[in-house]
Amino acid sequence: MSIDTLFLAPIYLPLLAASLILAAKAFAGETVRKAFELLGFLIGLVLPAFALFALRGAVWDHQSVETVIGAWETSLGIHYHFDGLSYLLIALHLLVSIPVWLYSRHAGPKQNTFSVVFFVQCAAVAATSLTADLFNLFVCLEVMGITSYVLVASSEKDSSALASFNYLIFSATAMVFFLLGAFGLYRITGSLSYEAIAEAKNNLGGNDLVLAQLSLVLIVISTLLRSAVFPLHGWLVGAHSKAPHAVSALLSGVLIKIPLFALIRLLLLVVGSQRIGFTMAWAGGISSVVGILLALFEHQAKRLLAYSSISQIGYVVCTYGLAVKTGIETEKGALLLGIALLYGFCHALSKSLLFLTVGTTTDVLGTKDLNKARGAIAALRQRGERIPLTFICFIIATLSMTAMPPTIGFMGKNTLLYLAKDHASVHLLSITSALTIVAYSKLALMFLPSKKALAVDESCVVSKTMKLSYALLALMILAGGFFYERIQRFLVHILSPLSEAKGGYIAYYAYQDLGKTLVTVGLAFICIVLTRTAWVRKLTRPLSSKEVGFADLFFGYALAIGFMAANLLW
């Protein structure tokens, strides 16, 4: 099969899988349904993975396909653009979604509709990665959003419905503003395809330019909302911590990064993107610090992980912003973008593994409170885990998240900090690195032996599919650490046609900075001691989290729009 047809496989195949499972649910009994779910897995996730494998040569040779679906005229049809970026985004999603689907087989959510919505979301992610048309981006983001709301609410707990509702109202309102932005750009440029917008926008002046820039701000901010960058982060904690573990892993690992990188195609083309990049770099830096500070004083295990996601996406957004500011067409800009995406991979693998292992552990212990949860290894052993695989995988994921060797996170974060070192916002990221260790040391307390008798939840079992999903993710984290050089070379090389740069390669090896890692650990140790003192606790009490209301969410949204618009126009 040629590249022209093969690249659409990640959209079509999951949709086919979803419809097969839905048909089986409507017409067949339990056994057939289960068989169709497995068939759906093979069609919707495994076959697209093979398609990507077959396409690796084409993307390495910088082949790209631009097509209009249904052979419509260019001005009317839906544009898709397949290149290295979309290839990597789809790969990122598949790498995480395959283990996550396996995990969900035993741990739930168990409704048949879960798989249907899951596969529709897979198709939406692929479509978002491929789209080169503003209105289609809107549709894809909405489909991704709607599936996310359903998945979050698929937990048996009613509080998940509230988290989903808050997320829905906030995000759907922002999407109305996105439409307004699309309206502005359509009115001025007369088109919705990225290239036509960019072409028309470069010749604008006066009031039209101001209106076009404002429209662009609405679009950028509404898209960034999905990535939960400060100050648009309020919705994430509820949604990601209340969702079922498998869904949290997928949402926190992958779904927050896809819109961010899908946006690059638009930012690449329009004028004034340097200023947007500058604002994003600072927003990313602040996001990382705010996220980790909130995580530090959180006592619920999954909420801590969700806050940490806000912090980690800050690293990605900061580097991404610096790439846009430098200009993706330059060698440095292309490298920064590559590293931002690579760090996205590091975070996706580690965070999803953390959500799965921590989720299982808190289920078995029957509490999410980090002040009470102890004795997890013994509890897991009671529930059928002879080798403490959950604990081992938790440690691997934590090492990766806190940038310790020999994991992919160690290599990724150090390269990122090295590359971004010229910009002031990187200092915020360095502070966050130390605080991340402090926050994760709190999570590790769950595995200490318990002095009290354990109240193990008898209904929880660590099944074989769950172990398989842990093992897959943990292996990827370790293999990523060992083969980091090659992965980085591949990634930067296939991303380089986005720019005219040659995809230059940095001569940096993270192990040469082991001393720095030791300093970070030392600082973290001091912070741990400090957080245990009474006066620091008193001082930081206002930071302990509370539920955010709609007014807070929209205040953040207005702040982001105001700041970005001010920066772009003056």
Partner 1 sequence: MIIERILIFLLFLIGFSAIVAMRNIIKKIFGLNLMNAAVVLLFILEGSRIGSQAPILDDGIIHMVDPIPQALMLTAIVIGVCVSALSLALAVRLYQATGSLDIDVITKRLADEH
Residues that bind partner 1 (CB under 8 A): 76, 135, 138-139, 142, 146, 149-150, 153, 157-159, 161-162, 164-165, 168-169, 172-173, 176, 179-180, 183, 186-187, 192, 300, 368, 547, 549-551, 554
Taking the C-alpha atoms of residue 570 and residue 554, their distance in angstroms, rounded to an integer, is 24
The tokens describing 244, both together, are 């079922």
For 193, the 3-state DSSP assignment is strand
Q: Hey, what's the torsion of the CAs at 408, 409, 415, 417, to 10 degrees?
A: 180
User: Which CB atom, from 171 or from 407, has the smaller least distance to partner 1?
Assistant: 171
CB of 475 to partner 1, least distance (A): 32
CA pair distance 185, 349, nearest whole angstrom: 37
Nearest to 155 by CA among 222, 104, 190: 104
Q: Which two tokens stand for residue 312?
A: 């980690």
How far is Cα 182 from Cα 362, in angstroms, rounded to an integer? Answer: 44
The CB-of-343 to partner 1 minimum distance in angstroms stands at: 31
User: Which residue's CB is nearer to partner 1, number 76 or number 534?
Assistant: 76
Which one, 77 or 272, has the nearer CB to partner 1?
77
For partner 1, the closer of residues 135 and 505 by Cβ is 135
Question: For residues 65 and 125, which CB has a smaller minimum distance to partner 1 in the complex?
Answer: 125
Within 10 angstroms of residue 179's Cβ, the number of other Cβ atoms is: 16
Q: Judged by CB, which is closer to partner 1: 169, or 204?
A: 169
Q: Which region holds residue 462: left if phi is over 0, alpha if psi is between -120 and 50, else beta?
A: beta
- Cβ proximity to partner 1: between 215 and 287 the closer is 215
Which stretches within 28-154 are classed as H helix? 30-41, 47-60, 84-107, 112-130, 134-153
Nearer to partner 1, 513 or 552 (CB): 552
Beta carbon nearer to partner 1, 215 or 400 = 215
Contact in structure between 339 and 318 (CB atoms under 8 Å): no
Least distance from partner 1 to the Cβ atom of residue 295, Å:
17
Q: Which residues pair with 79 in a beta bridge?
A: 68
Which is nearer to partner 1, 183 or 508 (by Cβ)? 183
Are 412 and 344 in contact by the 8 Å Cβ rule? The answer is no
Smallest separation (angstroms) from partner 1 to the CB of 183: 6
Q: What angle do CA 236, 435, 449 make, to 5 degrees?
A: 90
Local structure of residue 29 (DSSP, 8 states): -
Minimum distance from residue 231 beta carbon to partner 1 (Å):
16
In sign, the C-alpha dihedral spanning 165, 171, 173, 179 is: negative
> In sequence order, what DSSP letters do the residues of 511-535 get, joined into one string?
GGGHHHHHHHHHHHHHHHHHHTSHH
Type of residue at 63: Q
Is residue 212 within 8 A of residue 184, CB to CB? The reply is: yes
Cα–Cα distance for residue pair 207/210, rounded to 1 Å: 5
Q: Report whether 336 contacts 328 (CB < 8 A).
A: no
**Shortest Å distance, C-beta 212 to partner 1:** 15
Minimum CB separation of residue 304 from partner 1 in Å reads 13
Q: Phi and psi dihedrals of 405, rounded to 5?
A: -65, 155
Cβ at position 534, least distance to partner 1 in Å:
27
Give 383's contacts (C-beta < 8 A, 6+ positions apart). Answer: 364, 456, 460, 461, 462
Smallest gap from Cβ 177 to partner 1, in A, equals 9
Query: Within its chain, how far is the Cα of 63 from the centroid?
Result: 27
| 463 within 8 A of 390, measured Cβ to Cβ | no
Nearer to partner 1, 12 or 186 (CB): 186
Q: Are 323 and 277 in contact (CB under 8 A)?
A: yes
Report the relative pairing of strands 65-68 and 79-82 from DSSP bridges. Answer: antiparallel
Instruction: Name which of 138 and 391 has its Cβ closer to partner 1.
Output: 138
Q: Judged by CB, which is closer to partner 1: 161, or 519?
A: 161
